[in-house]
A and B are shown apart, each in its own frame.
Chain A
Amino acid sequence: MNRIVDHPILSAPEGRTSVTFSFDGAALSGFEGEAVSSALFAAGVQTFSVHPRGDAPQGIFCANGQCSQCTVLIDGVARKACITPLAEGMDVRTLHGFPELPARDAPRAAVSGETLSTDVLVIGGGPSGLAAAAELARLGLSVILADDKVSLGGKLVLQTHKFFGSEEDCYAGTRGIEIAKRLEEDIRSLPGVTVLENSPVAGLYKDRKAGVWRNYESYVLVDFKALVVAAGAREKSVLFPGNDLPGVYGAGAFQTLVNRDLVRAARRVLIIGSGNVGLIGAYHALQAGIEVAGIVEILPKVNGYKVHADKIVRMGVPVYLNTTVVSVEGNGKVERATVAEVDKDWRPILSTARTYEVDTVLVAAGLSPCDEFYRQAVDFGFLAVTAGDAEEIAEASSAMFGGRIAALSLAKLLGKKVDIDESWLAKREVLKSRPGDNLCRDEEIPTEFWKPVFFCTEEIPCNPCTTVCPTHSIQLKERKGSIMDLPYFEGSSCKGCTVCVAACPGLAMSLMRRVDEGWAEVVLPFEFKADFEPGARLPVLDQEGAFLEDAELLKKVFNRKYRTWILTLKVSRANAPRAIGIRVQSEAATRPLPAPRFEHLPDDAVVCRCERITVGEIVRFIRENAVTDVNQLKTLRVGMGACGSKTCSVLLPQVFRKAGIDPARTTAGTLRPLALEIPMKDLINEAAGRPL
């Protein structure tokens, strides 16, 4: 069983009921109510269906109810495993080709659907949607908030790391899972807000209504005056041959499996993309006991925060810049991934290819906003605003501010007299800023008094260390005049309390004190299982991951509030100012095969995952039919699948370019409801009807 039982941050949910179910006839067990997909992963099953085109095995991709790749047969009906709760006795089977429509089952009478009315419909219950809904309700507007998950908080519920930003504005230093809980409690305490959880919005209609798939079993229309689209973002797919093998999936899906459902989804992963999502994916993997062969980044620079990257590298995960994936291969599932450096035109240099033995490739090459409903609302002439990632991809901290600001601007449009606090606008700008400059710090010298040492050198919006220090000895040094500025130790009154070390979201602070001429005590944060005792020797590294020495552990204390181990180590005086990390992954996990092993077939990369249409097929079709309109690719069935072109649409510009057509000259595909497939019995509310 691939269950995570000893996670350093997360504890397994209590009181879950074990149930038995079958997969292709074999008896398995799982937990009642968990996603069928997670129960299958826990049982080692990663192939959910066999695609009718080419009999290709299909695995999970989004684990988020959006893409349909995890469709299996459940009690004879094709359903998405990731949104179907597991129940006792379920008969789950691999879906081979198209499903058979059951000839007879238990129909019930249709029931007329309800129409709910509200001032504002908020689509999405993540940080921005929750913030917007709360703000609108406080202004006396009625709000319906529809979210597709059981627990509110959006992607916060998947985040085990402490957040950046500031404590006063956006819960900095607090882990995403904790922030989500607080936001959910807040929203549920507001009387003007009706929450439709577990209920995705499936379509917007010109008569100013939205269709909501309530509880994934019935269909209600919501009549609204205005709309907040805070639907978040989705992972961009990446084109490489083998990108549709089971085992290639989004970093978000990985977070869902590992952090929400505590399933050890992989043994060793390769991560594509060094943005914060990819970097954090590596951190989540290591916490879950999953090895990370490396992170590849096609750009010449890490795309996420430097503190994130540094800490990942210190944990023992290499980040390969100017590098891309050229092939992922295996017999029915991922067995190896081959990467290569790229030239100045982003083409792989095959002579630099290296092959890694991995069972999973995580796609974290950026996010694209889920802004379809917003674009449609604007087309329809509705009053609508967008917030969070649906507006602009950024951190949850800025999403919360964005949500509040969007809510107020909408309230204004609805005739409410409100003023938007100017300072909010400024704060949001700061919180969503890309990292600023990477500065140098002078090396600290250990003295007989405790003092903090900082290993954050890049300007990012973050200041918890300054607010948690009980003696107010840590201050930002003014350069930009915002929380982008770097913190410094001011004064001499460090008591060695270690709270700053525990709170630092980047794990980029230590405390240091000279013991004698040769040695210093160094206090480091550690967010893994500390299965070692004082006296043990631990491999200590510098900011960017270079090995310094094996240092003796003097003391370990667990900080409950921050769920972080505080380790005190005896480090040589010379290394003490540079010691900040402890390697947790051995180098063996990151070694490539002695020789590369791959085929280079770039035309085989799958663009439309639903219908399995490759780059080569589309390029040929574009050329033969003089296509400049994405809608014509529907002839090839591109975009006609269950996901409604959510995955392929972001890839099409590259494909047109490859066919010699400037993407700027192309016409985008038309969006139509439904945004996700709904069974007819749910559209007619059979669940509430009498048996026939």
Chain B
Amino acid sequence: MKTCDVAILGAGSIGVPLAYYCAKKGLSVLVLDKEPSWGRGQNRAAIGGIRATHSDPAKIKIGLLSLDIARNMKEEHGLNIEWHQGGYMFVAYDEERERSFKDLLVVQKAAGLDIDWISPDRVLELSPGLNPEGLRGGTYSPGDGFASPLMTSTAFHKLALDAGAEFRFGETVTGFGIEGRRIRTVRTDAGEYSAGTFVNAAGAEAAGLGNLAGLELPVHPDLHEGGVTEPVRRFMEPMVVDMRGDDRSGNYYFYQAGTGQVIFCITPKPQIWGTDTDNTSAFLPHCVSRMVSLYPRLRNLKVRRTWRGCYPMTPDGLPVVGYPREPENLLLAVGMCGQGFMLGPGLGKILADTLTGDGARYGQVFEELSLYRKFEGMELLK
């Protein structure tokens, strides 16, 4: 039986960077995924934003680390992930929104974020042609940006391969061999592997995987659709987020990728629970009509493709990270609530550090994201 230090279950947004950071630290790493290749669960559906602009200190910390990694990927490893530091811009068209953004700024600044309120003129400078009617301004965090999830996962896969990690695709986990409080082996439909630590990085399927180890995880996927347009010359800088809702949707957001395409996504109302990632007809006309009314200039832009993916949601909109009481060697990195792509690189680094005894400085992260927290409230910038 193959034995390794760490068996990572899930080769997605979390698992692939984690595999790299673990292998780089000298751990022997095996990554298992039922998909035929890396990033084919929900990573492929991520739209590509990476930000530290959250409302929760733990996520801010992870986000800052991810940003740092994305920003330096080219220089450090010579790998292009189409990073573009366009910033995030949350626009306000009503007083209430303005007030809540400004309230949040206090927390965000206290957490060390480079973020501030900007005037309507500055908003229009960053996204020329945005509807000026009723525009009150917005928050802008110039350090945030975006990268290609595809290229990022391919980059980490390549780095992980080069660092010695082993990937086994097309294998579905069927159970665990548990002895006492610890997992000894993981069984798949193709074999059995033993490891010192097992990592649940199974994204939308994290709860099912937890069940196999006798663990209840409060992770329930809901569905979101996204789309991409033809590429055009750069006409806007930041990710634009409109937090307003209407009767059929909540917020929506879009940005122009480093390669020129506009990528967009909307939060349906009510939430659509489930895992059926086939496209539906309602998304495109609705999302596009909201986008064009906010940004009339988009009217001539051609939509190229759409897709659907899962947000592995938790009751409070925050991930679950850390060890459960039992099995004590099943490290959880689940419930990313649709932000696995932006949290993955930073979290990978933190978990690899922790696995090699170098994680003392991340105590707060594990505390806040513990499986045993109260799961009250909802993250404000979800």
Contacts and interface: CB of A to CB of B under 8 A. Distances in A.
Interface of A: 77-78, 97-105, 107, 110, 112-113, 203, 205-207, 209, 211, 219, 221, 379-380, 624-629, 631-632, 634-635, 637, 642, 644, 667, 672-674, 677-681, 683-684, 686, 692
Contact of B36 (A99, A629, A644): A629
A504 B292 CA distance: 58
Contact of A683 (B233, B285, B307): B285
B281 A211 contact: yes
A684 B150 CA distance: 30
B300 A625 contact: no
A282 to B, nearest CB: 36
Given A101-B301, A112-B285, A207-B280, 11 more contacts: A107-B296, A625-B161, A627-B37, A631-B37, A631-B44, A634-B150, A637-B259, A644-B304, A680-B229, A681-B299, A684-B288
B83 to A, nearest CB: 14
Contacts of B285: 112-113, 219, 683-684
20 contacts: A77-B300, A97-B233, A100-B233, A101-B235, A103-B128, A203-B284, A203-B306, A629-B169, A631-B36, A632-B150, A635-B150, A644-B304, A667-B36, A672-B306, A672-B307, A673-B279, A673-B284, A678-B302, A680-B301, A683-B288
B136 interface: no
Contacts of A679: 299-303
Contacts of A674: 284, 303-306
Contacts, number: 146
Contacts of A97: 233
A298 B289 CA distance: 51
Contact of B289 (A105, A110, A380, A672): A110
Interface stretch (B94-102, B139-147, B151-159, B201-209): B151-159
Contacts of B132: none
Interface of B: 36-38, 40, 44, 128-129, 148, 150-151, 154, 157-158, 161, 169, 229-233, 235, 259-260, 276, 278-282, 284-285, 288-289, 291-293, 296-307
B300 A100 contact: no
B233 A380 contact: no
Chain B CB count within 10 A is highest, among A107, A219, A686, for: A107
Contacts of B302: 78, 642, 677-680
Nearest to B161: A626
A595 to B, nearest CB: 43
Given A644-B305, A677-B302, A677-B304, A221 B281 contact: yes
Nearest to A376: B278
A627 B36 CA distance: 10
B100 to A, nearest CB: 28
Contact of A102 (B154, B157, B297): B297
A102 B305 contact: no
Given A207-B282, A628-B36, A679-B301, A99 B232 contact: yes
Contacts of A678: 302-303
Contacts of A205: 278-281
A624 B284 contact: no
A679 B291 CA distance: 13
The 6 closest A-B pairs by CB, nearest first: A629-B37, A677-B302, A205-B281, A206-B278, A681-B299, A667-B36
A242 B297 CA distance: 37
B233 A681 contact: no
B351 to A, nearest CB: 24
A103 to B, nearest CB: 6
Nearest to A206: B278
